[in-house]
Amino acid sequence: MGTRFQDLNLSNYFLFAAAAEDEEVSQLLLETLLGIRVGRVKVSVEHSFLYSSDFRSVRLDVFVSDEVEVRYNMEMENRERGALPQRSRYHQAEMDVMSLAPGEDFSKLKPVYVVFICTFDPFGLGKYRYTFENRCIEEDFPLGDGATRVFLNTKGTNGADVPGELVNLLHYLEDSTDTYVGKTDDPKVRRLHERVVRLKRSREWEARYMQFEELLQEHKQEGRREGRQDGMNCILKLTAAMMEAGEGDQISRLSTEPEFLKAMLEKYHLEPAE
């Protein structure tokens, strides 16, 4: 059984995406996380919860645009899955494709921010915020293509170098409780918490969360079943290859000698199931 909806922290993928559908919440998050003035925002709700075509994966992204036509993508990251810079590049390209009509001049491309909020340090330098833009290496000036990628780190240690409200918000994401809020006089955190508490009281959102959890559990079980089936198929192929090569008398060693199994898989160019 997973965590109760009422006990979730805002760092939870589902609760974050649900909360960010509130346009005031998205505006507050963006302004605090990025340290910039953001106009009135519009959340693309249809892109907040994205399912793959075969329902094998779920993405919880929030696409936002503001009144001056800047586009933002926010994503919560709770574990290191690798290739985070490349994924940010993909999201940027995806947003560019969405914002430019076929045949429209490239100068019409809107400024974009790709924002990853991580509960781990993505670059290991202890920063609460890492901001990237394309720059000329030789002369160190910005390319000016309007693309900015920002990685936030709730485990930062350079509190003296960033606004206190950023630190408070990042800590709140991992401890979205009355107790934490009671220890801070940050008005933005208090406003955000009011919205989160109201969301957690929603029976509709609680039901959606339970359905979401059931879907994830089904996917995990399906993945385990597929993994077992793939493993069986791999062993069947291996034993057939060994029989054909005259090594049938060695098959019994496969179940008792892991190193021998590994060597045979490599010899016959077969991949074991993950």
| pLDDT value for 55 | 41
pLDDT at 59: 56
The reply to whether 29 and 78 lie within a common domain is: yes
Residue 272 lies in a domain: no
What pLDDT does residue 227 have? 58
For residue 53, the model assigns a pLDDT of 43
Question: Considering its fold, how many domains does the chain have in total?
Answer: 2
Residues 6+ apart with CB under 8 A from 6: 200, 206
The pLDDT of residue 193 is 98
| C-alpha span between 58 and 53 (Å, rounded) | 10
Q: Are residues 132 and 181 in the same domain?
A: yes
Spell out, as residue ranges, where the chain has pLDDT lower than 50: 52-57, 274
Residues 186 and 90 in one domain: yes
Which residues constitute the domain of residue 225?
215-267
Residue 100's pLDDT is 78
Looking at the fold, whether 134 and 219 belong to one and the same domain comes out as no
Q: What pLDDT was estimated at residue 46?
A: 60
Q: Does residue 50 sit in helix, strand or coil?
A: strand
Written as six digits, the tokens of 167 are 């630190």
d(CA 120, CA 188) in angstroms, rounded, equals 23
pLDDT for 52: 47
Q: How high is the pLDDT of residue 151?
A: 98
* Helix 164-174 × helix 187-200 angle, to 10°: 20
Same domain, yes or no, for 237 and 128? no
Question: Are 237 and 261 contained in the same domain?
Answer: yes
Kindly state whether residue 273 falls inside one of the protein's structural domains. no
Same domain, 87 and 15: yes
Q: Which of 201, 231, 247 is the last residue of a domain?
A: 201
Q: How far apart are CA 78 and CA 117, in angstroms?
A: 8
